[in-house]
Amino acid sequence: MSHTRAMTLLLVDDSKVARLSLMRQLNALPLEFEILQAASADEAQALMQERQADAALIDFNMPGRDGIALAVEFGQSHPTMKLALVTANIQDALMQRAQELGMAFLGKPTRPDDLARFIEGVA
């Protein structure tokens, strides 16, 4: 039996419904996770000062700093964390900016196979 540590995922979205939907899809995958949640970039930053996540699924449109700004900050403070921008804002310029930052880009509503591919890239 393996005693490897469960992967820790951070979900950052100001919509509780969106976070619950992501959690439902993630929990349906045949993998073990610890899921942390934050409703804003500020909350996510505060949480990551106390914890470490292997990956973060970050909404783009949030009050205060957007998901791209948070990703830039995480790139500096947590350079090994894998990041995905999860948004309904499907624009080429936004996809390109996410790619420049080394982020995966997942459209909303998310699909389980896209989430699985992202998670497999983290493990």
Q: Higher-confidence residue: 45 or 123?
A: 45
Q: Is 101:68 a contact under the CB 8 Å cutoff? A: yes
Amino acid occupying residue 33 = F
Q: Where are the domains of the chain?
A: 7-122
Quote the pTM value: 0.91
Give 46-102 pLDDT, tens digit per residue: 999 999 999 999 999 998 999 999 999 999 999 999 999 998 888 888 899 999 999
Q: What residues contact 25, with CB distance under 8 A and at least 6 apart?
A: 110, 112, 115
Strands 7-12 and 104-107: unpaired
The pLDDT value recorded for residue 120 is: 83
Look over the chain and give the mean of its residue pLDDT values, rounded to a whole number.
Answer: 90
Choose which CATH entry (3.40.630.10, 3.40.50.2300, 3.90.1150.50, 1.20.1300.10) describes domain 7-122: 3.40.50.2300
Distance CA 51, CA 36 (A): 9
